[in-house]
Amino acid sequence: MKQWVILFLILFWLGWQLARPVDFIRADLGRHIKNGELILHGHWEVLYKNYYSYTNPEYPFINHHWLFGVFCFVLWHYLGFTGLSVVYLMIELGTFYLFFRCWQRYSSFLLAGAIALLSFPFLTFRSEVRPEGMSYLLGGIFWWLIDSYQQKRLKPNHLMVVLCVLQIIWVNTHVFFLMGPVITAFFWGQARISGEKEQSDYLLKLFFTLLGMCLINPSGINGFMEPFHVNTAYAYPVIEDQSVFHLLNVRPMQGRSLLLYFLAAVSVLNVGVIVLMKREGFRKYICVGFLILILSLMAMKASRMIALFGFLGLPLSIYVFSRWLDPLGIKLKKVIGIILLVVGVVVSMQVNFDWKRHPALGIIPASNEAAEFFKHEKIAGPIFNNYDVGGYLIFHLSPQHQLFVDDRVEAYPDAFFKRIYIPMQERDDIWQKLNQQYHFNVIFYSIDTTPWAFTFMKDRFVDPSWAVVYYSDKAIILLKRNELNEPIIKRDEIKVYLV
């Protein structure tokens, strides 16, 4: 079978797995689209403060992904949710293709195809429309272009100009923007170890130039420093920022296969580097080993990094294992490649893959029904909402309504979560006190599995001051029993019975 046919089948199989509708009620996508809309209409406040909140409206916030919001709004405005999903899917497949070609440069097409299939569970781990997808694409472009320069396929001046422009885009698109200088530093280290003085000197110059480009963002030096502050010691537990070992303890057995597979891949890859270092010398593989170790530790510490490990760690694994196979004969290499290809097919069909799920794009059907009910009934605020539904409500209700909280933990002080948001759901006396302070008129919750949310909703269902007027498997809306809400409650009240 010709190589282009195999590659097409691999891309088709990956696209099939990546084609998942967005869980819009719990996703960040709505907030990104609204960010883009407001920025294009001159509402610059979203760049530097907590624009969407009435509890902490002046709390400083660095919007490091604002350009992604503009990108999402423009696509959504002209193409709708389905068109936005199609474009994002093409970006993901294009990113994979770039890395695949990089992998192929380090080995054979057969081995590259096998490793590609083995990486599928990682690449499909977070497939919803997210700004990190742009980081993976830009990381692939950086890797491809610098590698092309080292192979004398690209002129130095062209590389400098293109990467500087891309770095400016990156620093305003996603917090992973330091990947650009890091990738450059990796190639610089490789060139220095290989004795390529001209290349190493140029790449060092490029590294510092790219760091300078990172300052070109609305927050300047504070925006540049954001990766060193974000996701550190948050007061509210965000699932994608939890460690792999924590998730292994809390997830049911059927949801642990990906995490166990990830730990196995990390172990094999790092042991492979150590064995290679012992065989051929520490110095030769120090840069590869260091980058693999950093990627492994990052992904173990925060599960959101697993896809990054898939895109960057797997190319390095090809580099490592192709060196392992060098002493073997051509026939034996081919046999091993075929075996790995078969294993890759099995892994791609079993780990993090559900045969019952059919590919789909856009958002989950009926996602907007709860918000449409809210707007149709012209329900008034103030709104008390849970964390997960924040992006959804921002999309539908901002700027007409502000929220109690939204899905940006870094946009609120730690004390807000520790002393207000979580305790008010756990203890009725704290809830009543804050209810008197803010005069909540509506409670709008997505289905929330946190223990404090369960306690809170159980108490509200039996609270005579509140009435459930909307209930689905995605969201719940309760209204305060008062004269303003009486017509809606009389017509739409739903009796909820606790079992």
User: Residue 383: beta bridge partners?
Assistant: 442
pLDDT in tens, 367-404: 999 999 999 999 998 999 999 999 999 999 999 999 99
pLDDT in tens, 1-52: 678 888 888 899 999 999 999 999 989 999 999 999 999 999 999 999 899 9
For position 177, what pLDDT does the model report? 93
Statement: residue 154 has pLDDT above 70: yes
Average pLDDT over residues 490-498: 81
Question: DSSP state, 311?
Answer: I
Average pLDDT over residues 329-358: 81
User: Residue 471: beta bridge partners?
Assistant: 476
pLDDT in tens, 257-268: 888 888 888 888
Q: How far apart are CA 311 and CA 308, in angstroms?
A: 5
Distances (CA, A) of 269 to 97, 293, 313, 339, 390: 22, 9, 9, 18, 39
For position 444, what pLDDT does the model report? 96
Q: How far apart are CA 73 and CA 341, in angstroms?
A: 40
Q: Which three-class secondary structure state does DSSP give residue 480?
A: strand
For position 1, what pLDDT does the model report? 61
Positive or negative, the CA dihedral 194, 196, 199, 205 is positive
Q: How far apart are CA 380 and CA 368, in angstroms?
A: 18
pLDDT in tens, 416-473: 999 999 999 999 999 999 999 999 999 999 988 888 989 999 999 989 999 999 999 8
Average pLDDT over residues 348-352: 82
In the chain, % helix, strand, coil (3-state, to 5) comes to 65, 5, 30
Q: How far apart are CA 121 and CA 67, in angstroms?
A: 28
Domain ranges of the chain: 3-350, 369-492
Strands (DSSP E) along 230-355, which ranges?
Answer: none
For position 71, what pLDDT does the model report? 96
For position 353, what pLDDT does the model report? 80
For position 498, what pLDDT does the model report? 61
Question: DSSP state, 22?
Answer: B
Q: What is the pTM of this model?
A: 0.90
pLDDT band of residue 356 (cuts 50, 70, 90) is: confident
pLDDT band of residue 180 (cuts 50, 70, 90) is: very high
User: Tokens 């909820």 sit at which residue?
Assistant: 496
